[in-house]
Amino acid sequence: MPFEVERPGRVPYAEARALQLRVHRDVVAGVRPDTLILLEHPPVVTLGRNATAGNLVLPEAAYAARGVEVHRIERGGDVTYHGPGQLVGYPIFRIGRRVRDHVARIERAIVEVAASYGASAAPRDDYPGVWVGDDKLCALGIAVRRGVAFHGFALNVATDLTAFDLIVPCGIRDMGVTSLERLTGRRLDLDEVADRVVEAFRHVREPLPAATV
């Protein structure tokens, strides 16, 4: 199924959220097709609907002192970090009630991208996202309004992984994080990875099966 792609570069979180909401409104209204937004954020911590304050390592004021914004948002999931070197994707797609199908397709696309770099990654049954063993490569959290999904995924490409020390990633204390650069042992270009993400999404966007009653 066709979709548009927007790649606005490095965008502050509040500005990107406003963009998401504008695109979501237009997709709901039928005045634009499904749209995949791919971008990068300055350092920011976001707290989803299930987040607890205990998963912030520092008092909120201390994040601002370090140049890290904190935002509470409507996606599912707990707390996560976004920053330079991380490819953030917002698939604003019509999914109806097929939330699990949508999540599975995002995971399949990221697994395909990792495989294209020789990295063996996979979803887990116990935690969302895409993992390499006990290390999370890609975080995932979505919201759905009026049958259209927004929010999405954060793929660690060249991310400074020490930044995750500022939080308990996704509220999981006994797991780690990784990146494509760590897995491949070489420097990667974020735009090139974004190209591969677009192609992977095209591969997994075959028509959804008919819903069963």
Select which of 37, 142, 144, 170 is catalytic.
170
Residue showing tokens 């075959």 = 206
The number of beta carbons lying within 10 Å of the beta carbon of residue 100 is 9
CB-CB neighbours of 142 under 10 Å: 23
- Mark whether 138 is an active-site residue: no
Cross-strand pairs, 155? 87, 138
Residue 42 · residue 83 · CB < 8 Å? yes
Q: State the CB neighbour count (10 A cutoff) for residue 83.
A: 21
Measured at the CA of 140, the angle between CA 136 and CA 145, to 5 degrees, comes to 175
Please list the active-site residues.
170
